[in-house]
Amino acid sequence: MAATNGYSGHKGILDCYVYYFNRSYETLEGTKLRWVCSHEGCVVPILTDINMVIKKEPRIHAHCPPDAAERAADIAKAKGKKIAKETNEKTSAVVDKVRIEVPVSVLGQLPSKSALSQQVRRTRVQVIQPPPNPQALYNLVIPARFANIMKRG
């Protein structure tokens, strides 16, 4: 098998459908890459060669393609969660950062400001959740995130 691990986690978009890299295998015509639709429960594959030339067209999907705006909104929400987890910025600042970066066409797909704020707060509660009490002092490990003084958002 060729060293195509480099494709793992890669995504491709064809006709608005998103495909994840599935596996690669050798054929007489060279390495083929198999990609599978990202939609839950859908197994429509595409075959390409390593130059991303389509070798086998996908069958018809039994679902609509994910809406591009919806996808962009998901990415924006994930980014907000990341900022919430990794910084001490105020909740409202995190929400503004998320909203400022998305195109106007995507804003409608985002949850409301208050829903976004709630999401940021919820993400932080998860992060703040302390580890269980140690049974003995020598088991005590203070996670890095508790080693600093935390500021409330």
Residue 57 and residue 147: Cα distance in Å, rounded? 54
Cβ nearer to Zn ion, comparing 37 with 94: 37
- What's the angle, vertex CA 23, arms to CA 18 and CA 25, rounded to 5? 135
Phi, psi torsion values for 46, nearest 5 degrees: -125, 145
Ranges within 3-32 binding Zn ion (CB under 5 A): none
Q: How far is the CB of 24 from Zn ion (least distance, A)?
A: 20
Encoded one letter per residue, x for contact with Zn ion by CB under 5 A and - for no contact, window 35-54 reads --x-x--x-x----------
| CA–CA separation, 76 and 17 (whole Å) | 19
Shortest gap between Cβ of 1 and Zn ion (angstroms)? 26
Task: Report strand pairing: 30-37 vs 45-49.
Answer: antiparallel
Using rule CB under 5 A, residue 33 touches Zn ion? no
Give the interface with Zn ion as residue ranges (CB under 5 A).
Answer: 37, 39, 42, 44, 61
